[in-house]
Homo-oligomer: A and B are copies of this chain.
Amino acid sequence: MTIKVGVIGAGNIGADHVTRLASQVVGSAVAAVFDVDAARAEQVAAGAGAVARSSALEVIEDPGVDAVLIASPGELHAEQVLACIAAGKPVLCEKPLATTAADCLKVLDAEVAAGRRWIQVGFMRRYDPGYQVVKNTIDDGTVGEALLAHMVHRNATVPGSFTSEMAMTDSVIHEIDTTRWLFGQEIVRTTVVATKPSPLAAAHLRDPQIVLLELAGGGVVTVEVFVTCQYGYDVRCEVVGSTGVVALENPTANALVTGGRRIEAVPADWRVRFGATYLTELQEWITGLRAGVVGGPSAWDGYAATAVAESAVASLETGEPVAVGLVERPGLYT
């Protein structure tokens, strides 16, 4: 059985997903593509043997579409995901699930009302082998009780439109989900600590930033986010347990020795670092759908991450710790 996917949003990430679904994932095909840029949609659709549609809703309601992948701008996610639920179609929604916790709650309510899971949120790090080693090492007790963690999230550069708030909602949101997943706990409070800005960051951008994530169980995770570090894409973490430490470094297999230096490459960007991880994410999504199962990060995970990011934005503005208030977790997500 082939899952025919409709893709909403054919920007960089969306187009990459189309390529994967059309030619790298087993059991999927791309049936329809929508993008606000119609020519772009035509081009991407043509490359995948799909048709271009003139609206997101057309994609969602297309009877030839079995499942939907949303890679549109974040502020459109809530409405599009709600339409998928209404249409009874499974959806893989790129993060964020919605840009506000309030909108996420609307999605949660709809899915709960539907009585079953339709939604997977695109927190792809959970599919990365390196993160899975960290998760398994915590879960099997090898480092004792997990107490705290240190994470860094660095990008070489960002577009001029990138803001200090986006460092929370677009970048740190990955560490937020990773933290919740690794520790199996909710984050209850965040603090964004102002630090010296890089002279190479845009004037409007506070960069780097340090974020403290406090867990329900008392642990604290420090996150450094630095989106103009210049040198590459550097995502690492170190979880400290009561009897040991487990770390995720940049994956490496090769060394070059020349000119007095032993050199290992640092990934240039997230495509280099996580390209294979995205493929695994999509493959597992499709494999699940073929078996009639929706799994992976849930709408609850999407809601919680957005709520935490929202509190981080608030802390960024006030300089004070900000509590995260989550609704009670519906039974659908336990």
Interface residues of A (CB under 8 A from B): 23-26, 129-130, 133-134, 137, 142-145, 147-148, 150, 152, 193-200, 208, 210, 212, 215, 217-220, 222, 224, 226, 229-232, 234, 240, 242-266, 268
Contacts and interface: CB of A to CB of B under 8 A. Distances in A.
A240 B224 CA distance: 10
Given A230-B242, A242-B200, A261 B266 contact: yes
B268 A148 contact: no
A224 to B, nearest CB: 7
A150 B130 CA distance: 22
Contacts of A200: 144, 242-243
Contacts of A260: 231-232, 265-266, 268
B255 A246 contact: yes
Given A220-B195, A229-B240, A242-B200, A234 B253 contact: no
Contacts of A194: 218, 220
A199 B145 contact: yes
Contact of A147 (B195, B218, B220): B195
Given A147-B198, A210-B212, 6 more contacts: A25-B26, A142-B256, A145-B199, A196-B217, A196-B219, A246-B257
Contact of A196 (B215, B250, B252, B262): B215
Contact of A234 (B208, B212, B257): B257
A252 B129 CA distance: 10
Contacts of A229: 240, 243-245
In the A-B complex, the 7 residue pairs with the smallest Cβ-Cβ separation, listed nearest first, are A244-B258, A196-B218, A130-B253, A251-B253, A195-B220, A245-B257, A196-B219
A251 B252 contact: yes
Contacts of A219: 195-196
A217 to B, nearest CB: 6
A257 B25 CA distance: 35
Nearest to A23: B26
14 contacts: A137-B256, A144-B230, A147-B195, A147-B196, A150-B152, A200-B242, A224-B240, A231-B245, A244-B256, A247-B255, A257-B266, A260-B265, A261-B264, A261-B265
Contacts of A259: 231, 244
A244 B257 contact: yes
Contacts of A23: 26
Contacts of A243: 200, 229-231, 258
Nearest to A244: B258
A257 B147 CA distance: 15
A228 B226 CA distance: 31
Nearest to A195: B220
A240 B196 CA distance: 11
B244 A231 contact: yes
Contacts of A25: 26
Contact of A148 (B129, B142, B196, B240): B196
A236 to B, nearest CB: 9
